[in-house]
Amino acid sequence: MTHVSQRPVRIGVQIKPQHADYAQIRRACAAAEEAGVNIVFNWDHFWPLGRGPNAEGKHFECWTMLGAWAETTSWVEFGPLVSAIGYRNPDLLADMARTVDHISGGRLVLGVGAGFREKEYAEYGFPLGTPAERARELEAGLARIERRLAVLNPPPVRKIPILVAGAGERRTLGLVARYGDIWNALLPDAETYERKSRLLDEHCARIGRDPGTIERSVLVAGPPEDLGEQHLALGATLFVLMMNPSDSLAEAEQWVAWRDRRNA
């Protein structure tokens, strides 16, 4: 049986930084904070995600946007879901994260993943490597981020939460156990989620870590009463909805209301 957390429920939204002007993205971020979500994410890509015509169009860079969000939000946490480890020197990424953390007064969540989008690597001149090579790069990058955050002057405002994305059973879940404060996964069904979560518990046991120290996050869509309750029973407590900058926040507001009922 997977670890069932006693953490409070939290709600996040991922605002897709695409097919919109930045002013519209800024308004969506402000509206999400006003709606009461706990975390607002963007993502680290260079072109829109989608197929056909939706794969082209307006798109903005991740980290310069996060620096702006640090100034234009007041209390909500925020960060990338996720920053591809191969797109920036990991020591530089740690310094960027520390700086944005200070600008925001200690509200950054640093999401990191191995990266996957071949077009972006090719167009921007980054070596893609095989999936195994990217996993090794993620492992080395997380270690460098940890070391760099420990020596920066001034240090981060708080211990910056590290979110690790992915569900690779041998390597990625082991990295979550070693470095992650939050685990995020996009998985097809509750059965798969339960199995992966149980494997994460096993990785934690091997290194002597309490699995309850890792917040478990899952991407969701639709009303919360069924999916939220189902994943909550499996240990997930951070539920993230994806949205376009032009979308209504009605769905997020339903999840926020459900969160408040569950946490009461």
DSSP letters for 199-258: HHHHHHHHHT--GGGSEEEEEE-S-HHHHHHHHHHTT--EEEEEE-TTS-SHHHHHHHHH
Residue-wise pLDDT tens digits, 234-259:
999 999 999 999 999 999 999 999 99
| Phi-psi region at 9: left, alpha or beta (left = phi > 0; alpha = psi -120 to 50) | beta
Residue-wise pLDDT tens digits, 65-83:
999 999 999 999 999 999 9
Which DSSP string do the residues of 67-92 spell out, in sequence order?
A: HHHHHH-SS-EEEES-EEGGGS-HHH
Does position 2 have pLDDT exceeding 60, yes or no?
no
Q: Where are the beta strands (DSSP E) in 81-230?
A: 83-84, 110-113, 162-165, 182-185, 215-220
Residue-wise pLDDT tens digits, 175-229:
999 999 999 988 778 888 899 999 999 999 999 999 999 999 999 998 898 889 9
Q: Closest Cα to residue 40, out of 241, 181, 224?
A: 241
Question: Percent of the chain at pLDDT above 70?
Answer: 98
pTM: 0.94
Q: What are phi and psi of 113, to 5 degrees?
A: -145, 175
How far is it, in rounded angstroms, from Cα 23 to Cα 227? 33
Burial state string for 210-220 with b = 16 or more CB within 10 A and e = fewer than 16 = ebeebbbbbbb
Q: Write the CB contacts of 50 (distance below 8 Å, at least 6 apart in sequence).
A: none
